[in-house]
Structure formats: C-alpha cells, structure tokens
Amino acid sequence: MGDNYSQLVSRIAEASVLDISEIERRVEAKKAKLSGLVSKEGAAQIVAAELGINFDQERSKISQIVHGMRRVNVIGKILEIFPIREFNKNGREGRVCSFRLGDDSANVRVILWDVHHITLIEQLKIKVEDVIEISNASYRNGEIHLGSFSDLKKSNEELKDVVVQTSYSERKLSDAKPGERFKTRAVIVNVFEPRYFEVCPECGKRVLDGKCVNHGEVIGKKRAILSIVLDDGSENIRSVIFGDEIKKLGLSEEEIFSLELFAGKKNALLGEEKIFSGNLRSNQLYNTIEMNIENIVEINPQELINELESKN
C-alpha cells in the first residue's frame, strides 16, 4: 500500500495539526530513546498514542491502510469474488473465502475466515458490485483479514471512480516490506521443478483422491505452482508463481505440465531479466519470507534507454 511510514506520518500530522517535520522529529527522538529497538513505524505509532490519536475507530481509505494495523475500518465495492477453499492446517479444518475490494484510492484482497461471513457470500447476500462496510479487521501480508470479531455488512453509500487495476510501487527487494505490493526488475538465478495439484472444474476447489467436497467424484483440472529465485542486485529471494502467470516466462502448457519437457527448458530461464510484480508473504511452512508473484512483464528496451539517459 505504498510507503507505510510516510502515510502513517501524514495521517498523524493531519490528526494532530502538527507539521510533518515535527512528527518526524518526534519519531526520531522516540526511536533514539528506545535505542533503535522499534522500527520507524512502531515509533510513529507510539508518537500517535502520546498525542491522543487513535485510529481504531477511524475509517481509512484503502491506500491509507498500513502493515500491522489491527483495527481496520473501510468501505469499498466488491470487484471480484474468488472460490471458497477448504483447508486443513495443523489439525485445524475449515473454509476460507476471499474477494477483491476497491475504493477511489486503491484495491485490496479481503480474506474471510468466519463461517457467518462466508455464508453471506454463499447465499449471495453479498455479491460482486455491492458496496460493503468492514469494521474491526486486521491487515497483514498485503491483505485485509476478517475474523469472528470483525463486522461485514452492506452499505447504502455510493462509490465513484473505484480503482480496478492493482497498482505497484517500485522497490528494490532489500527495501520491500511484507504486505507491500511492489514491482522490481530482477534476474532469475534459480528455478525449481513445478509442483502439481488438481482443482474441481465446477467450483475451483482442491480435488483430493478424485473427489470435490461440493461435486463428489470429478475429473480434476491440473494446476501448477512454480518456485524460482530472483535477484535484483540488492538481494535475492525465493518467489512463487501460480497458474497462467507461469506462461509469461515463455513456457508452453506442455512444458509446464511435463517434467521432461520442463527440464529441457529450465536452464534457458536462468539469467532471464523481467519486471516482476507482487508482494512479500510469510511462508509459515519453511519460516521464510517469499515473494508471491502476481504479474510478469517483459522489459521494454526503449524504456531502459530512457531511464539510463534520465540518470546521466
């Protein structure tokens, strides 16, 4: 969602009627007093609290939401609803639903974990194009998460000029923060074999042992996930690509779903330089941070020339 710290300082300045420079001075003083034990964002949160500013009940624009916020209140229009998925993690089973929400500043993915909220989607009480109000949600990994204490309801407000396209800020891998959507020009330095799974052709849910929880026995559609390592000169990071985005590396359907054909193409991908867009996420299985790649774009040589000329 852009530069978290700058947005947070701007909001504190606006709420306190102090200059941004004064807020930044107080943040640096607080950070120094705590011997650098907190980040700039953390120090800014402390400064806000000392000024009596509480963002918990305040409604935010989507572009104003910053990483780590635990009381997100926002209103937006549902742009797209994704299939409900089953999960079984650490012995805990359940379902999760997600949709993309937009306002006139940005758009974001919203994750529903509560049965009541998911039922609203299933029964079409909340659907695409509806304007909804979200209260008491949290924000992490670039997504708004609603739990059992969160509120989700339709709104009678009208929204205009809703941002449909996902926007990405330019960042080096070393500067990117978890949850921030960004893009970087990077080189592929390692490629791993794709992993395969099957989904139901009707609802898109995972197929296990030839069965879908909704449609029984089905012939599953094969899907792939590919892991690569990117390096943009500042850092390298393991990254994952899902579905049709893999084709943007120059791979055909046959090369993606045949390990033999993929092996013949794998080395050709090494050293390829492209513009990768996505966000950083925590991989709890491996206890690492990885980039979830959402878009891949070829580099335009003329744009590179213009960029080099502008620096001279």
Chain segment 146-180, per-residue pLDDT in tens: 999 999 999 999 998 998 887 787 889 988 877 67
- With 0-12 / 13-18 / 19 or more C-beta atoms within 10 angstroms meaning exposed / middle / buried, residue 106 is buried
pLDDT score at 169: 79
Clarify whether residues 190 and 293 are in a common domain: yes
User: What is the rounded distance in angstroms from the CA atom of residue 132 to the CA atom of residue 161?
Assistant: 16
Q: Tell me the average pLDDT across 209-224.
A: 86
Query: Does 126 lie in the same domain as 178?
Result: no
Looking at 135, 167, 199, the residue that finishes a domain is 167
- Average pLDDT on 245-266 reads 94
pLDDT (tens digit per residue) in 179-200: 677 899 999 999 999 999 888 8
Domain check: are 228 and 263 in the same one? Answer: yes
What is the domain extent for residue 69? 56-167
What's 124's domain CATH number? 2.40.50.140
How confident is the prediction for the chain on average, in pLDDT?
Answer: 86
Q: 161 and 132, same structural domain? A: yes
Asked if 129 and 187 sit in the same domain, the reply is: no
Beta-carbon contacts of residue 301 (< 8 Å; ≥ 6 apart): none
- If asked whether residues 87 and 179 sit together in one domain, one would say no
Indicate whether 42 and 138 sit together in one domain: no
Regarding whether 103 and 40 lie in a shared domain, the answer is: no
User: Angle 6-7-8 (CA atoms, 0-180°, nearest 5)?
Assistant: 90
pLDDT of residue 55: 67
Whole-number pLDDT of residue 252:
94
Label each residue of the chain as H, E or C.
Answer: CCCHHHHHHHHHHHHHCCCHHHHHHHHHHHHHHCCCCCCHHHHHHHHHHHCCCCCCCCCCCHHHCCCCCCCEEEEEEEEEECCCEEEEECCEEEEEEEEEEECCCCEEEEEECCHHHHHHHHCCCCCCCCEEEEEEEEEECCEEEECCCCEEEECCCCCCCCCCCCCCEECCCCCCCECCEEEEEEEEEEECCCEEEEECCCCCCECECCEECCCEECCCEEEEEEEEEEECCCCEEEEEEEHHHHHHHCCCHHHHHCHHHHHHHHHHHCCCEEEEEEEEEEECCCCEEEEEEEEEECCCHHHHHHHHHHHC
Q: How many structural domains does the chain have?
A: 3
Q: Show which of 118, 139, 167 is a domain's final residue.
A: 167
206 & 305 share domain: yes
Residues contacting 33, CB < 8 A, separation 6+: none
Single residue among 167, 196, 219 that ends a domain in this structure = 167
231 with 141, same domain: the answer is no
Give me the pLDDT at residue 12, please.
Answer: 86
Instruction: Tell me: do 80 and 28 sit in the same domain.
Output: no
pLDDT band at 1 (very low <50, low <70, confident <90, very high): very low
If asked whether residues 114 and 186 sit together in one domain, one would say no
